[in-house]
Amino acid sequence: MKRPTIADIASRAGVSKVAVSYALNGQPGVSDATRARIVAIADEIGWRPNSAARALNGARANCVGLALCRPARILGVEPYFMGLISGIEGVLAARSYALLLQVVTSHQQESEVYRHWWGESRIDGVFLVDLHYSDARVAELERLGMPVVVIGHPSESGTLPAVWSDDGQAVRETVGYLVALGHRRVARVAGLRELVHTTVRDQAFQAACEGVAEHVIVHTDYTGEQGARATRRLLSSPDRPTAIVYDNDIMAVAGLSVAQEMGVEVPRDLSIVAWDDSPLAQVVRPPLTALTRDIPAYGAHAAQRLLALIAGESVPAFEDQAGVLTPRGSTGPARSS
């Protein structure tokens, strides 16, 4: 958990701290080859010269970071992230900690942000979200040695502690409910296929439908636009589904609007389920059946564990409550053919 310092660079380069200072500040007194070696080591271990004083004295920043590789326009309408951040902030504020949030466009940029934040002593730790399989960010954060809590499935979190919930259980409950209502053609409008939690849900959905319902999965970017487009394609199919499960509430509301514009009555002709629940899912008509979980509590649990890591405590993976199906007016018995 030790921050990179000038002393660390000097030790690895086999030179004095004075030589490191000369090299990093562009002063004479070291050869070009030595300067290049020192700069390369500084970059490798995540040190940045503009916060040398803080890095040298080891002072805490009283701030943690969250970089999100999602379009900023999605975050503005995505209740999940707003709920997650509110839960994180509630815990941090009580401990006089701040949250440093940045939207990035790639995992490479995200890793660079982590290195800069850590090397410049701007943060004491970070949250990692939206895990991919063989995620390069995990290895990068393990190498940096900073406190990290992964909000996602522990199977891909490496040595980093994870806060997660069993998405497979929620999927199985949902499919079982729809099958009990007589639905035999069920669709899933999913999020980004490269995300670990998307694959977990996809696999659970396929297994739960096997032998009891025809099923199809359409992947999207979580936006209402793509949710609406996927719904139009599904409802225009000769064997259109009688039930659709959406990976977020924004797409579910968009799907409800498409069904209404196409004259498909909900829930008489089509049942709709949203993941996660939100006020938006509850105010539309009919109100949406949803997978409900306490997202602010989810964020709070992650924040509590990150602060514990920063304090030097050992933190194991933590399984949070899985989503629980909350039936409302958007689901009903399948119509007889």
Mean pLDDT of each 10-residue bin along the chain, 337 residues long: 81 92 83 92 77 54 92 76 95 95 93 91 94 95 95 96 97 98 98 95 98 97 94 96 97 98 97 94 97 96 98 96 96 86
Note the pLDDT of residue 52. 44
- State whether residue 258 is helix, strand or coil: helix
Note the pLDDT of residue 51. 46
CB 43, CB 50: distance < 8 Å? no
CA 284 vs CA 73, 125, 250, 276, 281: distances in Å: 22, 39, 11, 15, 6
pTM across the whole model? 0.82
Q: For residues 294 and 300, what is the distance between their CA atoms, to the nearest angstrom?
A: 10
CA 91 vs CA 80, 268, 288: distances in Å: 17, 44, 30
